[in-house]
Amino acid sequence: MTNNYELYKVFYWAAKTGSLTQAAKALFLTQPSVSHAIKQLEDSFGIPLFHRNAKGVILTQEGSMLYSYIEQSQILISLAEEKMAALKNLESGELRIGGSDSLFKHYLLPYLENFHRMYPNVKLHLNHGTTPEIISVLKEGKIDFGVVRMPIVDPQLEVKESFQLNDCFVAGEQYAELKDKVLSIDELLQYPIILFSRNSRVRMAITELFERYGYSIKPEIEVGSVDLLIEFARRGLGISYVTREFIARELAEGSLFEVKLDVEMPPSQVGIMIKHSLPLSNAAAKFIELIS
């Protein structure tokens, strides 16, 4: 028996064309090489696979049985090659991304729209969640990469900086008296504060910042989405901590205004997170190229 695929490929083309010469042409081999491969295969089975005559070769009964199996495998291999070519050219496949609702809506959406227009046959799978949840599904191989706020320190992951965001406190008309003021942290904390959920990177960042100044920030309201942070502030339920880039429209129209502090609010970096041992699909590599 042999496990040499090349011998079976030579056998397939010799049987398909009925000619060692034609098989040699199809495979870009010499005729002696084809003859030698056929002999090797026949020797491995211990039975003749072809009858030779002046016109070429004819399958023996045993050869016909072998051909019925090899033909099926050759068809499957050809289909696999076509599938791989389609994936390479992004004519099929899927793109699996993890990230927060706000990053999908306010940052990634235009890129996703552009990618879908360029490669309409690539299926999009978006996995929404917090940064710890995205890290978990990435390690499980359920997504190709994640788009998350940094820093991320994990030996299994590689994170490349992508873009910068700026967070700020905002309020609605109910707190109009604060529009032209610059507050201290102590003054800000006299008002009801609305923050994102405890396990979000934004919440962790503002908590750590205030702790460095010796303050503990305790929100009156906690929410699970940026849209609620915005809406609660608009309705006067408190002062929300949100990403400035995500509320450009509200700031422009005046339904929200920034509550300024006398301390610097450091920007945050968003990174593209991949797993070291997980090779990127062609679709994922192309999308990362778009947003980088």
Same domain, 135 and 280: yes
Bridge-partner residues for 196, per DSSP?
A: 223
Same domain, 98 and 82: no
Same domain, 140 and 186: no
In the 8-state DSSP scheme, what is residue 177?
Answer: G
Same domain, 78 and 29: yes
Same domain, 171 and 257: yes
* CATH number assigned to the domain comprising residue 56: 1.10.10.10
- Stretch 52-57: mean pLDDT, rounded? 89
pLDDT digits (tens, 9 = 90+) for 66-81: 999 998 888 888 777 8
pLDDT digits (tens, 9 = 90+) for 147-196: 999 888 899 999 998 889 999 999 999 999 999 899 999 999 999 999 98
Token pair of 146 as six digits: 């994640």
What pLDDT, on a 0 to 100 scale, did the predictor assign at position 23?
93
pLDDT digits (tens, 9 = 90+) for 151-161: 888 999 999 98
Same domain, 250 and 175: yes
User: How far from each other are the two terminal CA atoms of the chain, in whole angstroms?
Assistant: 52
Strands 50-53 and 268-275: unpaired
Nearest-angstrom CA–CA distance, 265 and 204: 14
For the cut 70, the answer to whether the pLDDT of residue 1 exceeds it is: no
- Stretch 236-249: mean pLDDT, rounded? 94
Among 88, 122, 139, give the residue marking a domain's end: 88
Residue 118 sits in which domain range?
94-164+270-291
How many structural domains compose the chain? 3
Same domain, 280 and 256: no
Same domain, 42 and 102: no
Burial class (CB in 10 A: 0-12, 13-18, 19+), 155: exposed
What pLDDT, on a 0 to 100 scale, did the predictor assign at position 88?
78
Same domain, 75 and 207: no
Among 60, 88, 116, give the residue marking a domain's end: 88
* CATH number assigned to the domain comprising residue 252: 3.40.190.10
pTM over 0.75: no
Same domain, 256 and 172: yes
Bridge-partner residues for 258, per DSSP?
A: 170
Sign (positive or negative) of CA dihedral 25, 28, 30, 36: negative
- Stretch 119-125: mean pLDDT, rounded? 92
For the cut 70, the answer to whether the pLDDT of residue 6 exceeds it is: yes
- Stretch 53-65: mean pLDDT, rounded? 92
Same domain, 131 and 275: yes
Confidence band (pLDDT; 50, 70, 90) for 258? very high
Confidence band (pLDDT; 50, 70, 90) for 26? very high
